[in-house]
Structure 1
């Protein structure tokens, strides 16, 4: 069970992310300036925290932070690393990603990145919790600006039901889920990837949040095994995100095209294009190296 804790240390209030189920024996804590909002939606506990500092000498703060069911989803300081990688790894692995589906991603960050891609013409997003969307628009406008694009059509609803009705429609499906506890656990099951396969066009690609090998190598290995039952080409890429457990997050990525080389992007961006797209983490070089895993990880996932 995931726990959420506000504790006092040295006359200051801190938020500590504690989960004996997901990362037993460790936690990550942030000093809180102010709790901006908290409520219980129909689906989950939502907190939005301000971790900025009044001390101008302290530059290392995480800004505005979104917490769902006691688990940090994104922080203003480092969210771009996750959003860019989960979007551009699959988009740039596909030769012509015209139509994209985003499952989850209620903060708008993935949508913000997907609509940047020059070949993307149409983006459909399905998010189950409308309160995450509305609160992100108010407190996380630097991410929720993704909802403003003319390319995007947002649906509030269940991703499973949405995909069941859209067979063979999408070039790329991106699943921006929370961690595999509670309702989100179903997004890591074999049945989910089978459903995603049916919703893809013939050569389609999927990409999903993949947890961290450092804290749950069994989940990563098992989930990749589920995906391999439906896709001929699979991979696991990594990125550095300091506010996530152990500072690293992974991505499951798979293609129906057996000729896809995930570590060699179909779309190569020049340095000028990267700047024009306002990318701060993703580059073609980062794409290639994302799939170069430490030796123990490569052997484990072989």
Structure 2
């Protein structure tokens, strides 16, 4: 399960054929199979601790903050008053940790399907797992679909921190899921979901963005660099029922001192704006896809 060879662990996945990332390993800290997926925690030579689910890197201690900050603060800072937030997935606790930093957020509801990921993260990944015990957070071990079906027009922001579209996360990339998120949002609410990498699987990115476009009045794609993710970057789709929203212009901005107090190392208003500036090849493909809807 752990793909270790001569002290190196290698990630191989059909979603990005012909390429893999390898990490030099000091120690295997945890290895198990939950009801839903294989769980592996490594102590690596240069990247700290790493969480791997079903053979795919979810985070490493060296660069996890870039992903966690951006998937949290992009939608939070697009909203004028994000008081009530729902997190789907995010079992490592990193997104909850970042959402809790936002001064406007009053409550966070998190729904994670795999209880074992939660326990493993608390024990072996305390730098992220601490987010799971924040006083703003209410945690549910349940299916995100079932939970949202019972909660209508309740949340200002919904963040989907899922693994890649294999195994238990496949349903979180479907049109039906975006429709359920829309129903669970308050008027003017915003959703944000990870959508893969446009360097390795542009088809997956465009399909996810098109699902979002077909459900919401406004949709946009942003991306962030994460060195240990496939191709070194990952994209996010954002959606809102507000046709006038400008995702690339933050509604809430923080000073450098405020960002420092919140212990943000990646996110800023400048980074927020830049995240929506896509490479020409990706912008061209995404524009062509949208014209066929």
TM-score (norm 2): 0.97
1:43 aligns with 2:36: yes
1:5 equivalent among 3, 6, 13: 3
Alignment of 1:97 onto 2:90: no
Distance 1:16 1:244 in 2: 12
Matched position secondary structure for 1:136 = helix
Determine whether 1:276 maps to 2:269: no
1:23 paired to 2:8: no
Alignment of 1:39-78 (within 5 A): 39-52=32-45, 61-78=46-63
| Alignment RMSD | 0.9
Residue equivalent to 1:58: none
* 8 Å contact kept, 1:4–1:71: no
Count of residue pairs brought into register by the alignment: 287
Superposed, which structure 2 residues align to 1:255-294 within 5 Å?
Answer: 255-294=240-279
1:228 equivalenced with 2:213 (yes/no): yes
Runs of 5+ consecutive residues of structure 2 not aligned to the other structure:
288-293
Q: Which runs of 4+ in 1 moved over 4 A?
A: none
Give the CA deviation at 1:183. 2.1
Where does the alignment leave 5 or more consecutive residues of structure 1 unmatched?
53-60
* Alpha-carbon contact 2:2-2:40 (below 8 Å) kept: no
Deviation at 1:148?
Answer: 2.1
Deviation per residue, 1:244-289 (Å, 9 max, x gap): 0010011011111111100000001111111010000000100000
What pairs with 1:74-93 in structure 2 (closer than 5 Å)?
74-93=59-78
Partner deviation per Cα, 1:197-254 (whole Å, 9 max, x = no partner):
0000011100001100000001111111111111111111010100000100110111
Shift of 1:4: 5.1
1:55 counterpart residue number: none
C-alpha distance in 2 between matches for 1:87 and 1:158? 21
How far apart, CA to CA, are the structure 1 residues paired with 2:198 and 2:145?
26
